[in-house]
Structure 1
Amino acid sequence: MNTWEVPGYTGSLELGAGASGRVVLAVHEETGVEVAVKYLSESLRTRPGFVHGFRAEARLLGGLESPYVAGLYEYVESPAGAAIVMELVDGVSLRALLKRQGPLDPEAALVILKGSLLGLANAHRIGVVHRDYKPENVLVTPDGYSKLVDFGIAVDAGTSAGVAGTPSYMAPEQWTGAPASPTADVYAATATFFECLTGHKPYLGDNLAELALQHVDAPVPAEDAPEAVRDLVRRGLAKNPEERPARAEDLVAELEAAAGTAYGPSWEERGRGRLAALVALLPLLLPSPREAPQSSTDTARTVLHRQPGRGRAQSWLPGRPGLLVCAAALLAALLTSGIPFDPGTAAQREAQALATTSAQPGQGPAAPPAPPASTPSPSTTPTESAGLSPSPTVSPSGPAASGSGEPPIPATPTGDQETTAPGGPATPTTTVPAPPAAPTVKDVAVSSFRQTGPTTATATIGITTDGTGPISITVSWFTGGTAGQLGTPDGASQTFERSGATRYTLTVDHTFRNLGCYWAVPSTTTPAAADGGATQQLLTRRCDLR
């Protein structure tokens, strides 16, 4: 087990753990401020895709300023480990609350949904899709407020990042790997709201294939919810994303209208009071009564830049904290890859030991006196730590993906991430690490091209690359009357996206529309192969050249 700790912080208690790492309650030694430190596991730290995603999560949190989201203090990466230092929120997970208290009354459920949706709305405004809204990632404070945490698999809106999310809360389009969209977050939030109201998830398939089919085809179980909020459930769980509220803030507006109409102007106050009473019944699940740390860590650290007297994160802007994270990642890459590093200044010499990024603060109370490292500032509002995203990591395996029915079910496990949230079991999350850079295509070959009928043919194409990054393979079809010449295009070209291996074999069928004694099939790739691609031609059985 990796025992590395972030320099300047003393850990006291593990708040959650899994294959992806652990979240630890810690104290900033210089100021006594309690924080949550999210450590990337040793096994994943050696895998570039996971490290890239971990850095991206820190960068995202640095640019997301919201009282409804656990904020970033700093990101630290060294040859010995990587960690995100966050606000510690004194609260319990919604999963723990549901496990111990069962279904919530509608007003309390509406309050939980609204608070975490406001955090989600702030993310949507800066173009970020969470992709993993679920009870484990909603935290409820002792005064009845809620926060959204764990942006571990969040991406920019419109990004095609593969199949990702927690199956019980995934929108129909998430199962197909469609580009990330705020409407998928709206679906997951509504599914969580439904569980708060009823005590069970909207769909209860026995396996991934059945669950996928239910999310795609089964009727919305709105009748299980109280009548006053059924329209809200129907809208949020609509199969067609265009029929859902477009963003979280739109769902908040519909929520407030429905709640005000059904329960009167004081619904929020009553709901928050009930939540506070429920959290009070679970004092041992709060971080606040935990024991103080008993040990300290003496380790070197580096500060790349710090403005004194500032608190927590604000917008992530180029030239400010954005450059810091980039610099930290670059420094860490230089250190771990063995590339020579010129220690031109004292700060650079320190950077050889540790790369540290601190988000620049925005509004809020003044920070404690700045130590020789980035210092978190206590918040005047209830705060909470982000947990680790639980998840068996899988990626789509193309047309032959396992499972029955449409859409295809994700397959090909590439790693497991699972975290037990304080007070409750974890829910599996499906996620895909960021893809590596595009490789060099070493060889393209048409290994087989044969006629299978009067107007049909099949071709087998092989591609070899020097890396596992994404490539595009384009197959075209031509007919003509002269050997050695392509002739005329026959129908549209076909393009296939592949990644995750260094060798690919495609078998492609085609029905020819044009007459011609010769058929040809050229294949090219992006990135282009050194020889430009491969082509094979055949003489059809319909022609007699005597």
Structure 2
Amino acid sequence: MSTWVVPGYTESLELGSGASGRVVLAVHADTGVRVAVKYLSESLRTRPGFVHDFRAEARLLGGLQSHYVTGLYEYVESPRGAAIVMELVDGVSLRTLLTRQGPLDPEAALVLLKGSLLGLADAHRIGVVHRDYKPENVLVETDGSSKLVDFGIAVDTGTSAGVAGTPSYMAPEQWTGAPASCAADVYAATATFFECLTGHKPYSGDNIAELALQHVDAPVPVEEVPAAVRELVRRGLAKEPDQRPAQAEAFVTELEAVAGAVYGADWEERGRARLAALVALLALLLPSARSPRSTTDTARTVLGQGPRHDWARSWRPGRPGMLVSAAAVLLGLLLTYGMQHASAGTAERTADALATTTAVPAEAC
């Protein structure tokens, strides 16, 4: 494992690690602000294409202005390593919440779905398909709100990038390598919503082939969810993309109409309070309970000189730093991940780290 540390930051706690890298809690030396730093693993950094993809994720986050997606502060790269410096969210992953607390009641599940769908909607608006929406990539904050993380395999709408995703949440068309679409993200979000309500995934094949057939051909198991939300689940898990809401924003509109009609005008307030109470039961897992707030000697960070969006101009967040999920590292795939990118080129000779937050939005869905 590389021992390289982003200049200007002091690491205090590892939040998670995997084959593709690790996520650590760090402190910005000049300000004392805590951040999450996502390092690309040394093994992937030396393989063609992966640094290119890592840079692409940073550029995407830099161009995505959303309260429902973890914000980018810096992308830092040197001959010794590459890292994405992000907002730290004080919360737990939805996977942790479901594992520790079990299924959610409908109002809490609807609030959870709405918050992360709004993150998807902001991505869809600039033409980005996430492709890996799942409980591991949704963070639930202490106030019951939620954020979407890990755009490691996100692509522009319409991109033909091969078969990629997490099998239990992949839309039928993802299994065939069809061009990326926002409707596939809607399918994955609905599969996650189903799991929130029932405690299990909509399909559970014994192997990849069986799971693929179930996603493509098996009936949608709507009878397992409360009657009030069955139509939402039926629509979101429709086999044909054109039978689902085309974008996350349209799905949010349908969700709000159903929730308001069935659970009343204050459904969202009650659902968020329930989520906040569940997160409070897991308080010892929060970064705010697991690490000190101390700083050490200052190190120099050289920032990129290109134009930036106002919200990404500084590493100082607008509120206390919070958690990036330990499960939300790159490439959470059980299928083959395409490696079609060209080599990132010869490493720069300078020892100074360079950073960028620039991005070029793609065409919307």
TM-score, with structure 1 as normaliser: 0.60
User: Is 1:173 equivalent to 2:112 in the alignment?
Assistant: no
1:270-311 residue CA offsets vs partner (Å, 9 max, x unmatched): 000000100000011111112226785776543332xxxxxx
Q: Which residue of 2 aligns with 1:508?
A: none
Taking structure 1 as reference, are residues 220 and 129 closer, same or farther at Cα in structure 2, changes over 3 Å only?
same
User: Is 1:122 equivalent to 2:61 in the alignment?
Assistant: no
Q: Between Structure 1 and Structure 2, how many residues are aligned?
A: 341
Q: Which residue of 2 aligns with 1:377?
A: 316
Q: Which residue of 2 aligns with 1:344?
A: none
User: Is 1:222 equivalent to 2:232 in the alignment?
Assistant: no
1:23-172 matches, cutoff 5 A? 23-172=23-172
Q: Which residue of 1 aligns with 2:362?
A: none
Work out which of the two has the higher radius of gyration on C-alpha atoms and give 1 or 2.
1
1:455-482 residue CA offsets vs partner (Å, 9 max, x unmatched): xxxxxxxxxxxxxxxxxxxxxxxxxxxx
Q: CA deviation at 1:23?
A: 0.3
5+ unaligned residues in a row in structure 2: which ranges?
344-365
Counterpart CA distance in 1 for 2:293 and 2:95 is 27
Deviates more, 1:140-149 or 1:294-303: 294-303
User: Is 1:362 equivalent to 2:268 in the alignment?
Assistant: no
Amino acid at match of 2:177: G
Counterpart CA distance in 2 for 1:381 and 1:273 is 21
Match of 1:432 among 330, 338, 347: 338
Q: Which residue of 2 aligns with 1:389?
A: 330
Aligned-partner SS, 1:75: strand
Q: Which residue of 2 aligns with 1:8?
A: 8
Counterpart CA distance in 1 for 2:340 and 2:108 is 37
User: Is 1:269 equivalent to 2:269 in the alignment?
Assistant: yes
Alignment check: 8 A CA contact 2:21 2:330 kept: no
Taking structure 1 as reference, are residues 118 and 4 closer, same or farther at Cα in structure 2, changes over 3 Å only?
same
Counterpart CA distance in 1 for 2:292 and 2:309 is 27
1:201-250 residue CA offsets vs partner (Å, 9 max, x unmatched): 00000110000000000000011000000000000000000000000000
- Structure holding more helix per residue: 2
- Structure holding more strand per residue: 1
Taking structure 1 as reference, are residues 382 and 291 closer, same or farther at Cα in structure 2, changes over 3 Å only?
closer
Amino acid at match of 1:362: D
Taking structure 1 as reference, are residues 294 and 265 closer, same or farther at Cα in structure 2, changes over 3 Å only?
closer
Q: Which residue of 1 aligns with 2:279?
A: 279
Alignment check: 8 A CA contact 2:95 2:135 kept: yes
Taking structure 1 as reference, are residues 236 and 392 closer, same or farther at Cα in structure 2, changes over 3 Å only?
closer
Alignment check: 8 A CA contact 1:175 1:212 kept: yes
Counterpart CA distance in 2 for 1:151 and 1:361 is 19
How well do the aligned residues superpose, as a CA RMSD in angstroms? Answer: 1.9
Counterpart CA distance in 1 for 2:63 and 2:304 is 18
Alignment check: 8 A CA contact 1:9 1:297 kept: no
Aligned-partner SS, 1:48: coil
Q: Which residue of 2 aligns with 1:487?
A: none
Taking structure 1 as reference, are residues 115 and 184 closer, same or farther at Cα in structure 2, changes over 3 Å only?
same
Higher RCO (CA-CA < 8 Å; seq separation 6+): 2
Counterpart CA distance in 2 for 1:203 and 1:285 is 30
Alignment check: 8 A CA contact 2:32 2:293 kept: no
Counterpart CA distance in 1 for 2:234 and 2:333 is 29
Counterpart CA distance in 1 for 2:30 and 2:55 is 25
Alignment check: 8 A CA contact 1:70 1:384 kept: no
Aligned-partner SS, 2:86: strand
1:54-74 residue CA offsets vs partner (Å, 9 max, x unmatched): 000000000000000001000
Counterpart CA distance in 2 for 1:91 and 1:69 is 13
Counterpart CA distance in 2 for 1:383 and 1:121 is 22
1:440-451 matches, cutoff 5 A? none
Counterpart CA distance in 2 for 1:13 and 1:277 is 25
Q: Which residue of 1 aligns with 2:359?
A: none
Alignment check: 8 A CA contact 1:53 1:434 kept: no
Amino acid at match of 1:3: T
Aligned-partner SS, 1:278: helix
